[in-house]
Amino acid sequence: MTFDVDALRKREFPWTQPGDAIFLNAASTGPLPQRSVDVLSEWARLRATPHKLKDDLLFHTLARSRELIAKLIHARPDEIALATNTGYGINLAARSLPLAEGDVIVTPHREFPANVYPWMGAAKERDLRYRLVPVKQGERVEDALIKTLVDPNVKCVAVSWVDFLTGYRVDIEELGRACRAKGAYFVVDGIQGLGALELDLSHGLVDIFASGAQKWLLSPWGSGFVYVRKDLIPKLEPNPVSWMAPKSTDDFRRLLDFDPTWRDDARRFEFVTLPFQDFAAMNASLEMFTELGPANIARHIASLAGEIVMAAERRRDVEIVTPTDAKQRAGVVSLRPADGQKVSDALKAAGVTHSVREGAVRLAPHVYNTGAEIAKALDVFWRAL
């Protein structure tokens, strides 16, 4: 089963119709489907007339968000805490995991800063030790991290599912099994993978999975979540603490009956007030994912990314930073020419939106892109070399 890309573009991404803009930058910010834009407009009208906003609508919206996210990642709604960005979930892990003085946390040396600085801060505050693990040329990230588990002091491994620069895709089940065997916690920054790849967390090998929704999930800024494995929830203290973390706060008529008994589910970690309108629009985007089928979306993205890689393999004047093995990549494809700025300028002039990271031109196609757009963007790229 597949979907009609042309019909989808007309219905949900009308800005693609004139053909003068090619957006290959989902790894930075994903565009909103028209249905999500419409939801935001409706919620703006509601916000302007707050007498029409009922508590049932507000909290049903958040409950629906947890349900949709749980369905997408094959988890339980009570394992989902809504958050405004990926960093919130990483900070939750860094501050709340039951680590002891001297315990070691490891991440690969090329991690995105959102999965580095929280650990550095926590290590300083909690007397932990933090290590950036070198990954040799040609070495699998999984292998480099698994080697560290020989040290019994390594109690936490944190990694990006998909590397923001290289597009390398970590086998989180393999790494999760290794962590479980050694008694180490496993934390995943999932923002560059979720939406481009299918995900099944029902295996219980990931302890904490954090992701914003503004990139590959095509949702507003300020929407995202953190998954916390069910059995781990009661072992974690909320940090920071929201006023709705205790279970007693559902009854707004008795807010002064203070009872610091945390909720039993992941809502103990939610920091309210959350941006209801952003989560309502995220729900619309996730419902589109459900309609199209996450597997179909993943295949479409993989096909477009594969076209870029195969075309680059035929050339000798550009370095392919991203793995050529389809099993080791997702939607991010990075190519490093001799003069990245020159190529970037040419792409911009041709209306091809992309990004540049560490001298590499990063192309990130999504569900709204076509093979014809990839061919046009690559033609501009090659002419600029």
- Whether residue 240 is preceded by a cis peptide bond, meaning omega within 30 degrees of 0, is yes
The verdict on residue 84 lying in a domain is yes
The verdict on residue 309 lying in a domain is yes
* Total number of domains constituting the chain: 2
> Under a CB-based contact definition with an 8 Å cutoff, are residues 190 and 87 in contact?
no
> Under a CB-based contact definition with an 8 Å cutoff, are residues 266 and 78 in contact?
yes
10 and 48 fall within a common domain: no
Residue 1 confidence (pLDDT): 57
**CATH number, residue 313:** 3.90.1150.10
The verdict on residue 38 lying in a domain is no
245 and 363 fall within a common domain: no
Q: Which of 215, 217, 288, 220 is nearest to 11 (CA)?
A: 288
Q: Is 377 helix (H, G, I), strand (E, B) or coil?
A: helix
Residue 23 confidence (pLDDT): 98
168 strand-pairing partners: 329
Element housing 344 (H / E): helix 340-349
**The dihedral sign for the CA sequence 213, 198, 69, 95:** negative
Distance of alpha carbon 125 from alpha carbon 2, whole angstroms? 50
- The parent domain of residue 373 ranges over 5-31+293-384
Task: Label residues 20-32 b or e (16+ Cβ within 10 Å = b).
Answer: eebbbbbbeebbb
Element housing 48 (H / E): helix 34-48
> pTM for this structure?
0.95
Q: Which of 122, 133, 120 is nearest to 159 (CA)?
A: 133
The full DSSP string for 173-196 is HHHHHHHHHHT-EEEEE-TTTBTT
Backbone angles phi, psi at 223, to 5 degrees: -120, 145
267 and 305 fall within a common domain: no
The full DSSP string for 51-72 is GG--HHHHHHHHHHHHHHHHHH
278 and 303 fall within a common domain: no
Place of tokens 């991290």: 145
276 and 304 fall within a common domain: no
Place of tokens 């409706």: 42
61 and 184 fall within a common domain: yes
Instruction: Tell me the average confidence (pLDDT) per consecutive run of 10 residues in the chain, 385 residues long.
Output: 89 90 97 98 95 90 98 98 97 97 96 96 96 93 97 98 96 98 98 98 97 98 98 95 91 87 96 96 98 97 97 96 96 96 96 94 97 97 96
What's the maximum distance between 2 C-alpha atoms anywhere in the chain?
Answer: 70
The verdict on residue 313 lying in a domain is yes
- Is residue 356 packed enough to be buried (19+ CB in 10 Å), middle (13-18) or exposed (0-12)? middle
CA angle 297–352–40, rounded 5-degree value: 60
306 and 281 fall within a common domain: no
The verdict on residue 175 lying in a domain is yes
Q: Is 22 helix (H, G, I), strand (E, B) or coil?
A: strand
Residue 192 confidence (pLDDT): 98
Distance of alpha carbon 193 from alpha carbon 39, whole angstroms? 25
109 and 258 fall within a common domain: yes
